[in-house]
Amino acid sequence: MANYLIRRLNLFIATSLLLIGILFYATHLFPVDLGYALSGIQYPTDAQEAQIIEDYRLDKGSVRQFLAYTGERLSGNLGVSVTSKRPISEELLLALPASFELAFVAGLIALVFGVPLGVIAALTHHSALKKFIMAGTLTGYSIPVFWLGLTLALWFGVKLGWLPISGQINLLYEIRPVTGFMLLDTLLSDSPYRIAAFRDALLHIILPAVTLAVLPFTVVVRITRAAMVNVMGQTYIRAAEARGLPYSKIVLRHALPNALIPLLKHIGLMLGPFASYAIVVEVIFSWPGIGSWLVSGIYQRDYTVIQSGILAVALLIVFSSILIEVLYTLANPLSRKEFYGSN
Amino acid sequence: MAQTKIYLDDAIPSPAMKVWRVFASKPQALAGLWGVGMLLLLTLVGHYLAPFAAEFQDPDALLLPPSWNSNGTVEHFLGTDDLGRDIFSRLLYGVQLTFGTAVAIVSSALVVGVIIGSISGMMSGLKSSILGHLLDALLSIPSLLMAILVVAVTGPGLSNVFWAVGISLTPQFVRAIHQTVHEELQKEYVTAARLDGANALQIFWYVIMPNVWETVIIQTTLAVSAAILDIAALGFLNLGAQAPQPEWGTMVLQGLDSFLTAPWTVTIPGLAILLSVLSVNLVGDGLRSALTPMRN
């Protein structure tokens, strides 16, 4: 097992280095001065220029430059933003929690509604219902997310006027960021209107979270259904039936846990598309997360924002997919067979 | 009547025939196949069918609703946008930009992916793992981020979409093919062929490849639908196809200004994207359920 964990750690380090290498290479291709692309300072004073050359070893060979670049980025020096002139790391720390909040709520919606629906689709003998669920998920899988977001915003935001369609919270509420998660911050704040602010934040998150949840929801339903159909045909389910266990107990205690294992694996594979969708959703609903930050960065050709945004998101995805893979191995004894045999 | 058939038992269908029979027994899969066929046809001849040129602006018909609305006319079947351009014609022109580009990207990614994936799958040990995992870092960059990186380097445009989406799709092909080849290589029929004296190339082409095509086909349909969605999303974010081009995602972006007064400028291109992706997915779904029982 230790061997396996070390291998995964190596994979993480190697992939991260490769990622930084890709970004390092891309930085050289940016159509601006290298020092500007690295630091974000367009017109440096002599002292700043000397500092940039010193920091990134611009007078040395490319290997030394790469090592210096890696060191600077990993130690948290991401340069300053070209447009706001503030350090990137500050802006990143403000934007990340908002994105996490949105992704977390969307993922929660997808799992809470997706798993039961997948189980129902697998167990029902009502063929019309089954077909309806499958057709619905296939359609949900095919909807362009920006179009769905716009349509939902038009109906529920503008025509019906039920839900706000922009931002994280009404700007009238002044909430001091503690955790960065608006839903928690409103509850933690000591202002007299915190319940009203919490309700407002909750209303603001509904539309973006539902839009973002559509893709993972459809995938969760389909994977759960396929896994559940597979598990219900196994002999141990028949054995449980033969012992006379109630049907609900068979499904909940014997079938569902085993059906959730393949789901875990697919969640890991889904992270990339999910992040792409999250960027689009954040742009549509002006969610102050890392996606809209990145897209405004590209509109303004803010090279430091682009680099560090991509680095942060990609590293997060690499880390979480390796974490999910490890969890999958822990949860699934069958996948451990390989290294019991070989070691 | 002359008895031409001497033996009463049925002819045994070929594997391809079996797949087709299972596939054709599902009406939704066939509908998807018709849809994809139509899209392929429109990619080639859409220009000739369009009643107006893509950039033709009719100043007398600004924001005309679709023809089923009481204010619409049949001339502009799906209405016009805020510059008086015929949406139906633009959709027909856009098939080539959205669907055609998606197919082109996927075919290039497929060729590269098959080559790298099968070479790395056939090798073993460190070499294979280096080749097989070389592109994994790219796999972890989502397609949109890749596009942002490419746009930062070269500026927006449809040709950059080609690179961005292509670079993010290729590792998926490499990984899928690498894994399948690697798995097949462990099986006993390969050992049997090797004992018969087949060399590596023969094993690869005659023994393993016939069993890999299924994975390739399934992966391709998945990739086409992902590519269409990516191209449209990039067009919508103004990072892909640029303003006057009738790419479907770009059309949604352009319709956004008049979304409240004329929702069809957004709804109709969006529906076009939805229906094309849906038909590709229906075909993919049908193929998967037709191929899976054969593999087991």
- Say whether pLDDT at B126 is over 70: yes
Give the pLDDT mean for A326-332: 85
User: Smallest Cβ distance to B140: which of A294, A306, A317?
Assistant: A317
User: DSSP character for A158?
Assistant: I
Distances (CA, A) of A331 to A253, A265, A279: 15, 11, 31
Q: Which of A132, A146, A292 to mutate to test the interface with B (most CBs of B within 10 A)?
A: A146
| Residue matched to tokens 């994979």 | A11
- Say whether pLDDT at B1 is over 60: no
Give the pLDDT mean for B14-22: 84
Percent of chain A with pLDDT over 70: 98
What tens digit of pLDDT does each residue of A168-210 get?
Answer: 777 777 777 777 787 777 777 777 778 888 888 888 899 999 9
**Residue-averaged pLDDT of chain B:** 84
Query: Which residues on chain A are in Cβ contact (under 8 Å) with B131?
Result: none
Residue A218 CB neighbour total at 10 angstroms: 23
3-state secondary structure A172-234: CCCCCCCCCCHHHHHHHCCCCCHHHHHHHHHHHHHHHHHHHHHHHHHHHHHHHHHHHHHHHCC
- Say whether pLDDT at B112 is over 80: yes
- Say whether pLDDT at B266 is over 50: yes
B:114-153 residues touching chain A, CB 8 A cutoff: 133-134, 136-145, 148-149, 151-153
Query: Which residues on chain A are in Cβ contact (under 8 Å) with B288?
Result: none
Please say whether the beta carbons of B277 and B98 come within 8 A: no
A:241-270 residues touching chain B, CB 8 A cutoff: none
CB-based contact, A139 to chain B, within 8 Å:
yes
- Say whether pLDDT at B194 is over 50: yes
Q: Say which residue, B272 or A46, is predicted with more confidence.
A: B272
> What pLDDT shows up at residue A343?
43
Give the pLDDT mean for B120-147: 75
C-alpha–C-alpha distance, residues B196 and A264, integer Å:
42
> What pLDDT shows up at residue B15?
80
Enter the tokens of residue A107.
């993922």
What tens digit of pLDDT does each residue of A59-72 get?
Answer: 778 888 888 888 88
C-alpha–C-alpha distance, residues B187 and A88, integer Å:
52
> What pLDDT shows up at residue A169?
78
Q: Which of B144, B222, B224 to mutate to test the interface with A (most CBs of A within 10 A)?
A: B144
- Say whether pLDDT at B3 is over 70: no
- Say whether pLDDT at B278 is over 90: yes
A141–B281: do the CB atoms touch at under 8 Å? Answer: yes
